[in-house]
Amino acid sequence: MAHPRPLSSALVTDDLALALELADVADGISMERFRAHDLKIDSKPDLSPVTEADRAIETYARERIGIERPDHAIIGEEFGVVGDRNATWRWVIDPIDGTRSFVRGNETWATLIALQREGESVVAVASAPAMRLRFHATLGGGAFLNGRRIQVSRIADISEALITHTAIRGFVITKQAERLVALAGRCWDARGVGNSMSHLAVARGTADIGWTSRANLWDYAALKLIVTEAGGRFTDRSDDDPVLGGTGISSNGLLHDLVLEATGQASGRSS
C-alpha cells in the first residue's frame, strides 16, 4: 500500500497541537466522572455501555474541530459521521476506548484521537489519564510517551514474547478463542489488558504482540500510527464488517508474519 507523504512541519505542529488540546479537555471530563458514584450509564443497541463522559468528550471534540477545521469530516464512536466519510481530511475519535473498564473503576481505558489524510492517520494521540500516560505520533515524526520517544521491542523468538489481548469473551464470540490460546501457549506469557493498552504496550516495547478480537475504525486509527511510528507493524481488519468491525493485530515487526499465520490473518491492511 502506498503511504501518504509526510506533512509539512508547520501543519503537523498545528494539527498535533489541536489533537493534544482535545485530549487535555477529554482528560478533564473523563477524570471528573471516573469512579463517580452517580455516573450515568446507558446501554447501546449492541448492549455495550456508554456513559455521560463518552458523550461529553465527543460532543466537545466535534464542536472544537468544527470551529478550528470546518472543512474536515469527523467520525466518532458515539455520534457517527459529520461531513463526507471519504473526505480527504477526517478526524476519528473514540472518546473512551475501554468503557467497560471505565465504568468498573479500572484504569485501562483511553481517549483516542486521529487525523487522517485519504484514509491514513497522520496525527495520533492516545491519552490514558488514569494511568498518567499520554502517547502521540505524527507520520514520519516518530512516536512518543509523555514526551519521550518510544520504540518497539527486539524480541524475535515467539517463546520469549509477551502477547497482550482484549477480552476472552470477544474471541469466543468471533470464534478465534482456540487460535488465541494456541498462540498464547507458544509465548512466554499473555495478558488481557484491553484494546488500547494491548497495542500501546507493543508501541512502548513492554509487549511484543497485541491482538484485538474485533473493533472499528475509531479503535485502531490512532493506535496504528503510534505502533508503526514506534517501529512496529499493525494489521487492521476493521473494514471487514461495516457495523462490527474486525480484528486488529500489532507486533514489533519481527514477529508479525508468524503472528499473522498463527491468527489466520495472513492478509489485510498492514503497515
Q: Looking at the domain that runs over 9-148, which CATH code has it been given? A: 3.30.540.10
Question: Given a cut of 50, is residue 1 above it in pLDDT?
Answer: no
Q: What is the DSSP string of 38-100?
A: T--EEE-TTS-EEEHHHHHHHHHHHHHHHHH-TTSEEEETTTEEES-TT-SEEEEEEEEETHH
Give the percent of the chain with pLDDT over 90: 80
**CATH number belonging to domain 158-270:** 3.40.190.80
Residue corresponding to grid cell 502477547:
163
pLDDT for the residue 2: 45
Please report the pLDDT score of residue 176 as a whole number.
96
pLDDT at residue 20 above 60? yes
For residue 269, the model assigns a pLDDT of: 59
Per-residue confidence (pLDDT) for residue 12, from 0 to 100:
73
Average pLDDT of the chain is 92
CA dist 264 and 34 (Å) reads: 38
Separation CA 263–CA 211 (nearest Å) = 9
pLDDT bucket at 99, cuts 50 / 70 / 90: very high
Residue 91's pLDDT band (boundaries 50, 70, 90)?
very high
C-alpha to C-alpha distance for 209 and 234, rounded to whole angstroms? 10
Give me the mean pLDDT over the 217-224 stretch.
97
Position 230 confidence tier, pLDDT thresholds 50, 70, 90: very high
CB 33 within 8 A of CB 49: no
This prediction has a pTM of 0.93
147-200: pLDDT as tens digits: 999 999 999 999 999 999 999 999 999 999 999 999 999 999 999 999 999 999
All structural domains of the chain with their residue ranges: 9-148, 158-270
pLDDT at 205 over 70: yes
CA-wise closest residue to 199 among 104, 101, 128: 128
Inform me whether the pLDDT recorded for 229 exceeds 60: yes
Instruction: Report the range of poorest mean pLDDT among 2-11, 37-46, 55-64, 106-115.
Output: 2-11
Contacts 24+ apart (CB under 8 A), 38-46: 39/103, 41/103
